[in-house]
Structure 1
Amino acid sequence: MPCTACRDGAGFDMPITMAFQPIVDVVARTVFAQEALVRGTDGSGAAAVLAQVSDTNRYGFDQLCRTSAIEQAAALDLTADGAGLSINFLPNAVYEPRACIRVTLEAALRTGLPTTAIIFEFTENESIDTGHLLNILRSYRAMGFRTAIDDFGAGYAGLGLLTKFQPDIVKLDMDLVRGIDTDPVKRIIVRNTLNTLTQLGIQPVCEGVETHAEYAVLRDLGVTLMQGYLFARPVVNGLAEVMWPGAAGAEEAQRRAG
């Protein structure tokens, strides 16, 4: 893909901001990272913003999201307690990884945000050339960034990709987590997925955790990194206070889950 697309692509005209949602370590009771989620400045959600992304402005949108996330994270002192900043990127908006990363590095340098805190996560919602994707991921790793697969189990990204590249983090899709306390099939799938990730040296994150019962089952399965409304909802240009599940409530939920 030619780098003229970076030079000649349209900018993204819709004003955006970022909401931050924590990924928490439920054992250490610390914030592992904050995921930057795009929002419209008019209050519109991510779906409305993404609906404005086209082939011509995809690069501009991707770059704007990166710089907005970094600038707002720095202003909020997001990394002060050791938390990372997780930025979603669009693989089809990255034409040459080392060229397209310049704006990101400039924003980090300008704001003082450590590049070592940045995690690049992607959701393979659209088909993409595997060789191109692997080139991006390997280049980012060589530059010192952490990488993550989002919505694992829902998109094109799957076990086949893990045979070729092992990211630092894999986020299990919320559909695998939702109702896991009452669904034995989901428990089997998640248990075996966690075992695979652990053996590959990949940190698993379970996202979409909403109930104490789901939390209890995941803890029983050995999950330590979680994300979801049970802990905090996204906060626009701010950092949420984490609601840690109480021990008594978790134990009761675990008894209900069997």
Structure 2
Amino acid sequence: MTTTDCGRCRNTPPADFAITMAFQPIIDSSTRSVFAYEALVRGAKGEGAGEVLSRVTEETRYSFDQQCRTKAIGQSVDLGMKTAADKPFLSINFLPNAVYEPRACIRQTLAIAMQTGFPLDRIIFEFTEGEQIDTDHLLNILRVYRSMGFATAIDDFGAGYAGMNLLAEFQPDFVKLDMNLIRDIDQNQPKQVIVKGILDIAAQLGVRPICEGIETLAEFETLQSYGVELMQGYFFARPALDALPPIDWPEGQELKRAAM
């Protein structure tokens, strides 16, 4: 596997603040197992992602993006994810506008994966379609990543700029339905129609859906009745700083309520 050179990658200043990661599971409801952990950037003292991202400038965007990738892989290995029995994926958010030449800008990711032994085919790169980006540039990144063995995901699907047009050009491995579509879906008929439509499109295109932002048993049961297997949200586990949180499975929650 070869990479090309990129002067912009070499000449960007480092971000002048420290970060860490919080991990939130994506569960497979059909097997009651952890399918993946999403690495969520936090400040060194646990500051939220919004506060961290507000400190990123155009000049430090590349180095910040690289730092997030290497930190996510390194911490996941330290926490035992590489050797976990269910072999979960690691989902890493990336900034498409911080990738100048995808084969050059992936070098640090490849280096830390090789150093730690984390399998490339268990890394998902997800991006938010809410960020306005050049579609041709994004498609180039996604195709290069796929050729290298990485999985790809569109985050917050249904909330941003790209939407169906992007899906028509490139079918990622996963689409993560925006949490605003999931909130109160058990009570909202228009959301039910929209989500069912997205699930049907994803199935026909061979793309696995992930529903995020699940907070209630009713939301979980509604999505499960639609055949959704991959889910994420506070209902199962909140992000844990520098840790892999335990899963609060629905049946366990029901037992707790029955005992009260």
Unaligned runs of 5+ residues in structure 2 are 256-260
Structure-to-structure mapping, 1:28-67, within 5 angstroms: 28-67=31-70
Instruction: Look up the match of 1:105.
Output: 110
Q: Residue 181 in 1 paired to residue 186 in 2? A: yes
| Structure 1: segments with no counterpart, 5+ residues | 251-258
Q: 1:218 to 1:249 in 2, by over 3 A?
A: farther
Determine which of 9, 14, 35 is the counterpart of 2:12: 9
Residue 168 of structure 2 corresponds to residue 163 of structure 1: yes
Counterpart Cα distance in 2 of 1:108 and 1:86: 14
1:47-70 deviations in Å (ceiling 9; x for gaps): 100001111000000000000000
Deviations along 1:110-132, one digit per CA (max 9) or x if unpaired, are 11111111000000232111110
Q: Deviations over 1:125-155 (max 9, x none)?
A: 3211111000000000000000000000011
Aligned residues between the structures = 249
Taking the aligned partners of 2:117 and 2:146, their CA distance within structure 1 comes to 20
**Shift in Å at residue 248 of structure 1?**
9.2
| Separation (CA, whole Å) in 1 of partners of 2:131 and 2:181 | 20
| Correspondent of 2:209 among 204, 207, 232 | 204
Q: Distance in 2 between matches of 1:22 and 1:116?
A: 18
Q: Hey, what does 1:255 align to over in structure 2? A: none
Do the aligned residues in 2 keep the contact of 1:21 with 1:239 (CA within 8 Å)? yes
The counterpart of 1:94, out of the listed 90, 99, 113, is 99
Contact 2:94/2:127 (CA < 8 Å) preserved in 1? yes
Contact 2:130-2:156 at 8 Å conserved across structures: no
- 3-state SS of the aligned residue for 1:228? coil
Equivalent residues of 1:172, 1:207 under 8 A apart:
yes
* 1:195 alignment partner in structure 2: 200
Write out per-residue CA displacement over residues 146-177 of structure 1, whole angstroms, 9 at most, x where no aligned residue.
00000000111210001110000000000000
Say whether the 8 Å CA contact 1:123–1:157 is kept in structure 2.
no
**2:215 paired with 1:246:** no
Q: CA RMSD in A?
A: 1.5
- Counterpart of 1:126? 131
Match in the other structure for 1:232: 237
Does the aligned pair in 2 maintain the 1:166–1:202 contact within 8 Å? yes
**Counterpart in 2 of 1:135?**
140
TM-score scaled to structure 1, two decimals? 0.94
Match of 2:81, SS state, is coil
Which one of 215, 219, 227 corresponds to residue 222 of structure 1? 227
d(CA) in 1 for partners of 2:99, 2:169:
19
Distance 2:122 2:150 in 1: 8
| Conserved? CA contact 1:212–1:249, under 8 Å | no
**Shift in CA distance, 122/248, structure 1 to aligned 2, threshold 3 Å:** closer
Decide which moves more: 62-71 or 154-163. Answer: 154-163
Q: Find the residue that maps to 1:233 and give its secondary structure.
A: coil
